[in-house]
Structure 1
Amino acid sequence: MSTPSQAWRRPPIRELGTDLLRISPLRRAVALACPFLCFAAYFFFAAMGQPVLALLAVVVLSFLTYGSVSHDLVHANLGLPRALNRKLLSLLELLMLRSGTVYRIVHLNHHAKYPDAHDDPEGAAARFSLVRTLFEGIVFQFTLGRWACRRASTVDRRRMTAEWFGIATIVLASLAVSPLTLIPLAYCALVYAGSWIIPLVTSYLVHRPEEDGVLRQTRLFRGTFYSMIALDHLYHLEHHLYPQVPHQNWKRLARRLDPHFREAGVEPQRVF
């Protein structure tokens, strides 16, 4: 049996199955609709005096954007025309008071540069302590925005400016109506707080940059526990290896890669 630090042949996607690159129109439509439904659900439940359900709607929305649907739009994995893909990414991230263009730039850079210790702001938390990682979440979007703005093309800078203007407009409008209702302002506070855990869950917990080799620098997760807590989204090593596969197919991708991981001696993290 070989070890992960030895040379490993990455199976081409055509060998694993090009069906992994496709999803049905129905699944794509459902994926794109769910964030907007959660957004509407927050305001509905808040207006009905159901704060717990309103909070739950924001939690689900936060998960569906950065870690799921927005992530697929960053990688252009949903089979959409490029212009529509970019607009939807901007719109979905705007719901969370974030810039979709910044997300696209820093995340694609992460895939290109990780485990670079100096030019990968998205993956930087993997080298931080837990306390610093949690603090980093508070300023994370500002850190990414500043980094991306310095490296963006003129066109992307214009997109970022428009997105930031949209964010400012939403926050100012929420403040303006706060004497009448605190629901919009509470939403802004919740989605901002929801972004604080991004460095923890997308970098600190899933990366091991000090290890040698692509198979060891990102953790492999298996088992019912991780499937349940991450809703079948904790396939980070698989995603690093095949970023072109949409999240709906990660579980199938993992099953097809398991024999290759075993052959390479990769041991998954497992609770049960």
Structure 2
Amino acid sequence: MTHQEILKKVQWKDLKTLTFKEMLIENNLTIPWFLASMALSYFGYYLLALPFSAFFFLAGLRQVHNGFHNSLGTNKFLTWLTLYTNSILLMVSIHAVKFNHIRHHKYCLTEDDYEGKSARMTWYGAILYGPVHMFLIHKITLQLGNKNYVKNVILELTSIAIVAFLVFYFNIHFLMYHIIVMVFAEFLMAFFAVWTVHHDTEDSPEYARTQRKGWKNKITFSMFYHLEHHLFPAVPTIKLPELAKRIDEALPEIEKKNTF
């Protein structure tokens, strides 16, 4: 079954629109986790801060991912601002990630899909590849991106460098903790954001893996509804559980490989 046939069989266009409440959730999901992480690390409770930092990172990924697909319900400038601020908070140029993610949808698991390279590796190979992955997505964006992408990447990397310099120069311990944890998390992206959802799907790359266990989706902010996302990238994350139900009803024959 082709992608176009799937689009015709599943009712999905109504899911593109966010209510005001849903828009507030998607645009503020990171705040409580960030504040809790900062408060605990400020008082030196680094181990207690770690799970809150992890949930902040996941929430940040969900937020920028929706921003990539213009699914935050905000205007162009506010979406850009979300991507820019999260670049500093997540310690990576989010526009570089965006450029490669859009290419990932277009060239999924082909030689031109630089984001998806770790999908063809072993799980431990994907983990070891993590630092290379982060370097590569910046390099590719600077080489292949248009002037707007290049400008945003340079702005974001410069801002990250200035913030990191000030934090370490003035020895701001709780922000040093945050930077170190975020950089470590970014090095795991090739495994968590690519390998887990795409390994062993090369024969049908449009059918990514998915996660249908309720509690697992709750603790991962629904980010592992990846089959659903690849088939309908314009649908915001908050709507993916409903989209999954509609796909199951309309196309029960589609194979659904588990993420974890």
One fold, TM greater than 0.5? yes
The 1:130–1:17 alpha-carbon spacing in structure 2 relative to 1, beyond 3 Å, is: closer
2:53 maps to which of 34, 55, 58 = 58
Point out the more displaced range, 187-196 or 237-246: 187-196
Aligned equivalents of 1:58 and 1:16: distance in 2?
A: 36
Aligned equivalents of 2:255 and 2:99: distance in 1?
A: 30
The 1:49–1:121 alpha-carbon spacing in structure 2 relative to 1, beyond 3 Å, is: same
Aligned equivalents of 1:121 and 1:28: distance in 2?
A: 31
Residue identity opposite 1:214 in structure 2:
E
Is the counterpart of residue 170 in structure 1 residue 163 in structure 2? yes
- Counterpart residue number, 1:3: none
Q: Percent identity?
A: 20
**Aligned-residue offset at 1:229:** 4.8
The 1:237–1:172 alpha-carbon spacing in structure 2 relative to 1, beyond 3 Å, is: same
- Paired positions, count: 258
Aligned equivalents of 1:23 and 1:147: distance in 2?
A: 33
What is the SS of the residue equivalent to 1:125?
helix
Residue identity opposite 1:201 in structure 2:
F
- Counterpart residue number, 2:100: 106
- Counterpart residue number, 1:150: 143
What is the SS of the residue equivalent to 1:206?
helix
Q: Is the 8 A contact 2:53 2:181 kept in 1?
A: yes
Structure 1 stretches of at least 4 aligned residues deviating more than 6 Å after TM superposition = none
Is the counterpart of residue 204 in structure 1 residue 195 in structure 2? yes
Aligned equivalents of 1:230 and 1:238: distance in 2?
A: 15
Point out the more displaced range, 231-240 or 35-44: 35-44
**Aligned-residue offset at 1:7:** 5.1
- Counterpart residue number, 1:266: 255
- Counterpart residue number, 2:176: 185
Residue identity opposite 2:249 in structure 1:
P
The 1:157–1:132 alpha-carbon spacing in structure 2 relative to 1, beyond 3 Å, is: same
The 1:155–1:256 alpha-carbon spacing in structure 2 relative to 1, beyond 3 Å, is: same
Structure with the greater alpha carbon radius of gyration? 1
Aligned equivalents of 1:199 and 1:169: distance in 2?
A: 26
- Counterpart residue number, 1:135: 128
Residue identity opposite 2:206 in structure 1:
V
Point out the more displaced range, 158-167 or 75-84: 75-84
Aligned equivalents of 2:117 and 2:2: distance in 1?
A: 26
Q: Summarize deviations over 1:138-175 as a string: whole Å, max 9, x none.
A: 23221110011101111221111110001101111121
What is the SS of the residue equivalent to 2:212?
coil
The 1:198–1:83 alpha-carbon spacing in structure 2 relative to 1, beyond 3 Å, is: same
Q: Summarize deviations over 1:42-97 as a string: whole Å, max 9, x none.
A: 2221222322332222111110112x111000111122211221121111232111
| TM-score normalized by the length of structure 1 | 0.86
- Counterpart residue number, 1:79: 73
Q: Summarize deviations over 1:176-196 as a string: whole Å, max 9, x none.
A: 012xx4222121111101112
Aligned equivalents of 1:131 and 1:38: distance in 2?
A: 29
Q: Is the 8 A contact 1:70 1:93 kept in 2?
A: no
- Counterpart residue number, 2:236: 246
Structure 2 unmatched ranges of 5 or more? none
Point out the more displaced range, 144-153 or 21-30: 21-30
Residue identity opposite 1:34 in structure 2:
L
Q: Is the 8 A contact 1:78 1:246 kept in 2?
A: yes
Is the counterpart of residue 42 in structure 1 residue 37 in structure 2? yes
What is the SS of the residue equivalent to 1:205?
helix
**Aligned-residue offset at 1:228:** 4.8
What is the SS of the residue equivalent to 1:222?
coil
Q: Is the 8 A contact 1:65 1:93 kept in 2?
A: no
| TM-score normalized by the length of structure 2 | 0.90
Is the counterpart of residue 222 in structure 1 residue 248 in structure 2? no
Aligned equivalents of 1:173 and 1:265: distance in 2?
A: 51
Q: Is the 8 A contact 2:58 2:220 kept in 1?
A: no
What is the SS of the residue equivalent to 1:233?
coil
Q: Summarize deviations over 1:93-152 as a string: whole Å, max 9, x none.
A: 321111121121111110011021x11111111111222211111232211100111011
